[in-house]
Amino acid sequence: MQRRYRIDKGIKYLLFFSAIVSIIIVFLIFFFIFQSSLPAFQQIGLRNILLETTWRPTNGQYGILAMIVGSVMVTFMAIVMGVPLALGAAIFLAEVAPRAVQNVFRSAIQLLAGIPSVVYGLFGMVVLVPIVRRIPVPGNSGYGLLSAAIVLAVMILPTITSVTEDALRAVPRSYKEASLALGATHWQTIIHVMIPAAKSGIIAALILGVGRAIGETMAMIMVIGNSVIMPTPLTDNPLTIFLRQARTLTGNIAVEINYATGLHESMLFATGVVLFILIMIINASAHLILRNGERS
Amino acid sequence: MNQAESNASSTVQSAAQKQPNRSNLKQRHLSQKFAFGALWVGGALVMLILLVVVGYVITNGIREVTWEFLTTAPRGGLSGEGGISTTIVSTVYLIGLTIVIATPLGIGAAIFLTEYAGETNVGSKFLRSLIDLVHFGVETLAGIPSIIFGLFGFALFVSVLHFGFSLLSAGLAGACLVLPTIIRTTEESLLTVPMSYREASLALGATKWQTIYQVVLPAAIPGIITGIILSVARVISETAVFYVTLGGSARMPTSIFSSGRTLALHLYYLAMDTNAFDKAMATGAVLIISIILINLIIDFVSSKLTAGLRENQ
Amino acid sequence: MNSIKIETIHYSLNYGNFRAIEDISIKIPEKQVTALIGPSGCGKSTFLRSFNRMNDLIPGVTTEGEILLDGEDIFKMDPVSLRQRVGMVFQKPNPFPKSIYDNVAYGPRVNGLKDHKKLDEIVERSLRGAALWDEVKDNLNKSGLALSGGQQQRLCIARALAVEPSVILMDEPAASLDPIATLRIEDLIRMLVENYTIVIVTHNMQQAGRVSDYTAFFFTDETRTGRLVEYDRTQVIFTNPKDKRTEDYITGRFG
Ligand SMILES: Nc1ncnc2c1ncn2[C@@H]1O[C@H](COP(=O)(O)OP(=O)(O)OP(=O)(O)O)[C@@H](O)[C@H]1O
Ligand SMILES: [Mg+2]
pLDDT one-digit tens code per residue, A164-221: 999 999 999 999 999 999 999 999 999 999 999 999 899 889 988 999 999 999 999 9
The answer to whether A244 touches A231, Cβ cutoff 8 Å, is yes
User: Model confidence at B121, in pLDDT bands (50, 70, 90)?
Assistant: low
Ranges assigned E (strand) in chain C: 4-15, 18-29, 33-37, 61-69, 72-73, 86-89, 167-171, 197-201, 214-220, 226-233
Average confidence (pLDDT) over A30-36:
93
Cross-strand bridge partners of residue C168: C87, C198
User: Model confidence at B202, in pLDDT bands (50, 70, 90)?
Assistant: confident
B15, pLDDT greater than 80: no
Pick from A38, A119, A154, A223 the residue to mutate for testing the B interface (most B CBs within 10 Å): A119
Residue B155 is classified by DSSP as: I
- At A168, the amino acid letter reads L
Q: Which of A39-53, A233-247, B76-90 has the lowest mean pLDDT?
A: B76-90
Average confidence (pLDDT) over B250-271:
91
pLDDT of residue C253: 65
Domain-wise residue ranges, chain A: 2-295
Out of B36, B147, B264, name the one closest to residue A253 (CB): B147
User: Model confidence at A37, in pLDDT bands (50, 70, 90)?
Assistant: very high
Q: Quick one: fold of A2-295?
A: MetI-like fold (1.10.3720)
Q: Which of A6-10, A70-74, A247-251, B58-62 has the lowest mean pLDDT?
A: A6-10
pLDDT tens-digit map of B203-255? 887 888 888 888 888 888 888 898 999 999 999 999 999 999 998 888 888 88
Helix axis angle, A249-257 to B146-153, nearest 10°: 30
How far does residue C226's CA lie from ligand 2's centre (Å)?
A: 12
The answer to whether A248 touches A224, Cβ cutoff 8 Å, is yes
User: Model confidence at A25, in pLDDT bands (50, 70, 90)?
Assistant: very high
More confident residue, B201 or A127: A127
Average confidence (pLDDT) over A137-142:
90
Q: Spell out the SS3 assignment of chain A.
A: CHHHHHHHHHHHHHHHHHHHHHHHHHHHHHHHHHHHHHHHHHHHCHHHHHHCCCEEHHHCEECCHHHHHHHHHHHHHHHHHHHHHHHHHHHHHHHHCCHHHHHHHHHHHHHHHHCCHHHHHHHHHHHHHHHHHCCCCCCCCCCCHHHHHHHHHHHHHHHHHHHHHHHHHCCCHHHHHHHHHCCCCHHHHHHHHHHHHCHHHHHHHHHHHHHHHHHCCHHHHHHHECCCCCCCCCCCCHHHHHHCCECCHHHHHHHHHCCCCHHHHHHHHHHHHHHHHHHHHHHHHHHHHHHHHHHC
Out of B43, B207, B287, name the one closest to residue A119 (CB): B287
B104 touches chain A (CB under 8 A): yes
Terminal C-alpha separation, chain A: 63
pLDDT tens-digit map of C159-212? 999 999 999 999 999 888 888 889 989 999 999 999 999 999 999 888 999 999
Q: pTM for this one? A: 0.88
Out of A22, A117, A154, name the one closest to residue B137 (CB): A22
pLDDT of residue A3: 75
User: Model confidence at B123, in pLDDT bands (50, 70, 90)?
Assistant: low
* CB-based neighbours (< 5 A) of ligand 2, an ion: C 45
Average confidence (pLDDT) over B177-193:
91
Closest ligand 1 atom, residue C224 Cα: 29
Those chains having 3 or more beta-carbon pairs within 8 angstroms of chain A are B, C
More confident residue, B18 or C31: C31
pLDDT of residue B153: 95
Cross-strand bridge partners of residue A62: A55
pLDDT of residue B94: 95
Q: Which domains does chain C have, with CATH numbers?
A: 4-250 (3.40.50.300)
A296, pLDDT greater than 70: no
What are the angstrom distances between the C-alpha of C59 and each of C14, C17, C54? 11, 12, 11
B310, pLDDT greater than 70: no
Average pLDDT, chain B: 85
Contact A217 B239 (CB under 8 A): yes
Query: How much of chain C, in percent, has pLDDT values that exceed 70?
Result: 98
Out of B131, B243, B295, name the one closest to residue A218 (CB): B243
B 16-45 residues with CB < 8 A to C: 16, 18, 20-21, 24-25, 27-29
User: Model confidence at B6, in pLDDT bands (50, 70, 90)?
Assistant: very low
Taking the C-alpha atoms of residue B147 and residue B140, their distance in angstroms, rounded to an integer, is: 15
Chain C residues within 8 A of B31 when measuring between CB atoms: none
User: Model confidence at B120, in pLDDT bands (50, 70, 90)?
Assistant: low
Taking the C-alpha atoms of residue C117 and residue A9, their distance in angstroms, rounded to an integer, is: 70
B22, pLDDT greater than 80: no
Contact A21 B268 (CB under 8 A): no
- Which residue out of C11, C45, C48 has the highest number of ligand 1 atoms within 8 Å of its CB and is therefore the one to mutate? C45
Average confidence (pLDDT) over B3-30:
55
- Which residue out of C14, C19, C21, C42 has the highest number of ligand 1 atoms within 8 Å of its CB and is therefore the one to mutate? C42
C224 touches chain A (CB under 8 A): no
Q: Report the residue count for chain C.
A: 255
Taking the C-alpha atoms of residue B282 and residue B286, their distance in angstroms, rounded to an integer, is: 6
Query: How much of chain B, in percent, has pLDDT values that exceed 90?
Result: 48
A93, pLDDT greater than 90: yes
Contact B267 A118 (CB under 8 A): yes
pLDDT tens-digit map of B125-145? 777 788 888 888 898 888 899
pLDDT of residue B7: 40
pLDDT of residue C51: 95
pLDDT of residue B309: 60
pLDDT of residue A209: 92
Taking the C-alpha atoms of residue A191 and residue B35, their distance in angstroms, rounded to an integer, is: 10
How far does residue B296's CA lie from ligand 1's centre (Å)?
A: 36
Phi, psi of C32 (to 5 degrees): -135, 160
Taking the C-alpha atoms of residue C95 and residue C101, their distance in angstroms, rounded to an integer, is: 11
CA distance C134 to chain B (A): 8
B150, pLDDT greater than 90: yes
Most confident listed range (A54-68, A251-265, B80-94, B166-180): B166-180
Query: How much of chain A, in percent, has pLDDT values that exceed 90?
Result: 68
- At C126, the amino acid letter reads S
Q: Which of A44-53, A245-254, B9-18, C31-40 has the lowest mean pLDDT?
A: B9-18
- CATH of region B71-312: 1.10.3720.10
Average pLDDT, chain A: 91
Task: Please give all residues whose beta carbon lies within 6 A of any atom in ligand 1, as ranges.
Answer: C 15, 18, 20, 40-46, 58, 224
B16, pLDDT greater than 70: no
pLDDT of residue A21: 92
pLDDT of residue B1: 38
Query: How much of chain B, in percent, has pLDDT values that exceed 70?
Result: 87
